[in-house]
Chains A and B, each alone.
Chain A
Amino acid sequence: MPDITGDRLRGHLDTMVLSVLERGPAHGLAIIQRIESAGSGLLHMKEGSLYPALYRLEGQGLVSAEWERDSGGRPGPRRKLYKLTRKGKAQLGRGRAEWETFVATIGPIVGGAT
């Protein structure tokens, strides 16, 4: 099966980020790891593109962010921990409903059922 990359991921990135943050707060790298591991190795994103999405979601109040207090002995610059807000949870619910409608509508067409 071919990998899913680039523009095919971009349109769904916001909902995917909200979805993985539902499991608990995470910093950028952990968010990518959660997305990629959930994608059975088929999802490959350019990792820098995650941050504009996170800033956008933060600007909309869907996620909140705070600098990591304990680096666990890790050297180097600080990281930010992102957390789903109540507004983000509501948006995630809407995003999932939209996705289900999308799949229910487009799936049969692409699958050749019509």
Chain B
Amino acid sequence: MNPTLDEQLRVTVERCVRPIRATHRRKDRMREELYAHLLALYEQQREVHDNDEAATTAAREQFGDPRDIRDDLQASVPRLERLACVRLHPDNAQWRRKPDESAFRYDLRTMAAVTTLAMGAYFVLVAIGHYTQVGAHRPRAMTAYLVTASLATAVSPILFMLNTAKRESLRKMGQAPWAAAVSTGATIFATALMLIAAITICYIINWTANAPVVALGSPFLLVPLLLLTPVLVEWQGRDSLRAARRFELWERLSLE
């Protein structure tokens, strides 16, 4: 098939999929399936029409209006996933790499911002817990683990959203594979820092009379992290260079 006409089919798919709020993994799957379907329609139409262009137009017509399909596709995404994939604006100056800024400095600056924000949110949650019923009852060590682990898990979506913004910003600069690696690394790094802070806070507010028990038990805090990290990586759907490159091919298409 003529590459220009192939691009027309891809643009039709991209008009349906790109605006959807869903994980990259889900969107990749939608793209692959819709594109396979459109190609099959094109093959069918090619037997009827005597030229490629007419066959492409007929296939797109038979496929339907991308706006309607997009709305229906969006409705098929679970509500929680839609919420988690709300994009922070990638053009926000805070997340944009400055022209003369080194990659290392940029990474450090954005990771520090992500960690500060996440720890701020975490501290507020811990303070609320401490000054309300949880604090009043002086929970035992196991309760402290559970509360801390739950809070760490609750804060994770913030990390996820902020790293998504950063990744989108990098993607716009044409640095998709680099963005995938940095984004995943930053998420793990920031979550680890947050957990260290969580253990420290446990000591400071003396949630347990036996501090060494908390210290020995702190590896348990890593359980939600260990469970969460692959989920985040999987969710982002860009944990490999191959996935990132495939994603980039689609996202580079101009929909104008």
Contact = CB atoms under 8 A, between A and B. Distances in A.
A108 B33 CA distance: 42
A49 B76 contact: no
B39 A51 contact: no
Of A51, A59, A78, most buried by chain B (CB within 10 Å of CB) is A51
A111 interface: no
Of A48, A56, A79, most buried by chain B (CB within 10 Å of CB) is A48
A79 B36 contact: yes
Contacts of A52: 69, 72-73, 75-76
Interface in B1-60: 16, 29-30, 32-37, 39-41
Nearest to B65: A46
Nearest to B32: A77
B36 A51 contact: no
Contact of B37 (A28, A53, A56, A59): A28
A82 B25 CA distance: 18
Interface residues of B, number: 25
A59 B64 CA distance: 23
A69 to B, nearest CB: 15
Nearest to A55: B76
B63 A51 contact: no
Contact of B63 (A47, A59, A80): A47
A47 B41 contact: yes
A49 B16 CA distance: 11
A80 B33 contact: yes
Contacts of A78: 32, 36
A48 B39 contact: no
A76 interface: yes
Contact of A49 (B29, B33, B39, B68): B68
B36 A46 contact: no
A29 B40 CA distance: 8
Interface in B92-124: none
B36 A48 contact: no
Contact of A48 (B40, B69, B76, B77): B69
Interface in B60-84: 62-66, 68-69, 72-73, 75-78
Contact of A47 (B39, B62, B72, B78): B62
Contacts of B33: 28, 51, 77, 79-80
Contacts of B65: 46
A80 B29 CA distance: 9
A59 B39 contact: no
A23 to B, nearest CB: 20
Nearest to B61: A46
Given A55-B73, A59-B76, A77-B39, A48 B32 contact: no
Contacts of B73: 51-52, 55
